[in-house]
């Protein structure tokens, strides 16, 4: 690691001010992803701003029925929380499928949103990488790309976002709360992460100095049967080839509400809004689900080694929606 200084702010605003005054500084909480990057010199901060002791560690219900998760709540506490398990089951399932118990005990809500891609070319400094060093190239496009993006990529980057938790948050229409020296603001989850375009080094739309303070989950009383389906190379701790967070609400055999988000397929959690819109008002039947899955993947641009992801994602969408229609459960 490179040499850096360390500070322990007493408030979120103090932390944000410290970051604003030193753009090369970085926040650290659980450190489950940042420390990995520090070890291989991907990140070279001038200072680590330790936010782990800030008062951002509570889960509370708000006046409008939303559930507010402090940015420093651990993944374990979120997954074990009874309100989460009862009202947002897809989130609990996503977290439990996302990492080992030891990592979940340290990883935080805010940190999960900010983890960076696990693309091997990004981690290996022997190769060029536009995400690591802009305008140097993306060797994954012509190289080993089995695990890479099929949606929303660009000629500059085909890496995928690694989070399971964020896929569920995308499906749940979560809202990210941030603070900076300029004040506070709320960012709809769909607008938090960004696609690579010609700036793949930028993962989010956070402004300089902004610190995540919480993630709010809207009232989920109409979506109690959400499921999370993760397909990976091995059943133990592994990143998704394709994952689906889905919920569906039926009025008889008519679909009156549906949410679908995909992981392992894009630079950000991918919300399949066109497929959702297609299904509203349709009868819950195989043909409708199949057509919706086709719509969700109609813009797919697979690479030389991941064509299989297109069909895999379609089948995963159909399966997740069927399980949700049956009341949820293990998928």
- Give pLDDT tens digits for 240-295: 999 999 999 999 999 999 999 999 999 999 999 999 999 999 999 999 999 999 99
For residues 49 and 15, the answer to whether their CB atoms sit within 8 Å is yes
Say whether pTM exceeds 0.85. yes
pLDDT tens sequence across 97-127 = 988 899 999 999 999 999 999 999 999 999 9
For residues 271 and 195, the answer to whether their CB atoms sit within 8 Å is no
The pair of structure tokens assigned to 46 is 């001038």
Express as a percent the part of the chain with pLDDT over 90. 93
Domains and their CATH numbers in the chain: 227-325 (3.30.390.50)
pLDDT of residue 99: 86
Give the residue with greater pLDDT, 216 vs 331: 216
Q: Where are the alpha helices (DSSP H) in 81-224?
A: 82-87, 89-96, 101-106, 109-114, 120-123, 165-171, 189-192
Q: Is residue 131 predicted with pLDDT exceeding 80?
A: yes
pLDDT of residue 212: 98
């Amino acid at each position: 690691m490179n040499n850096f200084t360390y500070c322990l702010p007493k408030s979120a605003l103090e932390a944000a001010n410290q970051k604003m005054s030193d753009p090369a500084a970085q926040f650290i909480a659980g450190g489950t992803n940042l420390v990995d990057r520090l070890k291989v010199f991907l990140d070279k901060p001038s200072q680590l701003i330790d936010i782990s002791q800030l008062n951002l560690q509570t889960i509370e219900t708000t006046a409008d029925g939303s559930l507010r998760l402090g940015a420093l709540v651990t993944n374990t506490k979120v997954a074990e929380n009874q309100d989460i398990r009862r009202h947002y089951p897809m989130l609990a399932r996503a977290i439990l499928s996302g990492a080992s118990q030891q990592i979940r005990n340290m990883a935080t809500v805010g940190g999960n949103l900010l983890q960076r891609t696990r693309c091997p070319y990004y981690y290996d400094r022997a190769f060029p990488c536009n995400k690591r060093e802009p305008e140097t190239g993306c060797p994954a496009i012509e190289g080993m790309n089995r695990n890479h993006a099929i949606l929303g990529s660009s000629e500059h980057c085909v890496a995928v976002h690694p989070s399971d938790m964020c896929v569920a948050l995308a499906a749940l229409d979560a809202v990210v709360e941030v603070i900076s020296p300029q004040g506070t603001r709320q960012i709809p989850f769909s607008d938090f992460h960004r696609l690579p375009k010609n700036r793949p080094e930028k993962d989010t739309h956070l402004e300089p100095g902004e610190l995540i303070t919480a993630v709010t989950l809207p009232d989920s009383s109409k979506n109690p049967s959400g499921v999370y389906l993760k397909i990976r190379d091995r059943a133990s701790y592994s990143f998704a080839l394709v994952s689906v967070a889905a919920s569906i609400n039926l009025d008889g055999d008519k679909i009156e509400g549906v949410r679908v988000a995909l992981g392992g397929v894009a630079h950000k959690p991918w919300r399949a809004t066109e497929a959702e819109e297609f299904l509203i008002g349709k009868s819950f039947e195989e043909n409708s689900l199949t057509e919706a899955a086709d719509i969700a993947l109609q813009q797919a641009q697979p690479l030389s080694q991941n064509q299989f992801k297109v069909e895999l994602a379609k089948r995963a969408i159909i399966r997740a929606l069927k399980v949700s229609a049956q009341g949820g459960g293990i998928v």
